[in-house]
Amino acid sequence: MHIVYYCRHCKAFLGSLDSSRVSLDALGFTSLTEQEISDIIEYHAEDQTTYVKTVCEYCETALEQNPALYLTSSPIQ
């Protein structure tokens, strides 16, 4: 399985990993609800890639400084 991490806000590519055996446990998502998991993980069957939406350092800093940005789904167009 190919896993790609990208920023949910600016869509920056953050990294990827390949593994034949990756479980949600290994990724540290066990504490999330199913709803949260389906919100941050997208599986694309056609290229067998799992996309994980996260937040990059740049956006994390920006959001810390201006939490109001959390109210909009994509502050950076």
**In which order are the strands placed within the sheet that holds 2-7?**
13-18, 2-7, 49-54, 41-44
Nearer to Zn ion, 36 or 57 (CB): 57
Q: Which stretch binds Zn ion (CB under 5 A): 16-24, 27-35, 49-57, 66-74?
A: 49-57
37/53 Cα distance (integer angstroms):
10
Q: Which of the residues 4 through 43 are near Zn ion (CB under 5 A)?
A: 7, 9-10, 12
Nearby residues of 65 by Cβ (< 8 Å), 6 or more positions away: none
Nearer to Zn ion, 27 or 62 (CB): 62
Q: Does 63 bind Zn ion (CB under 5 A)?
A: no
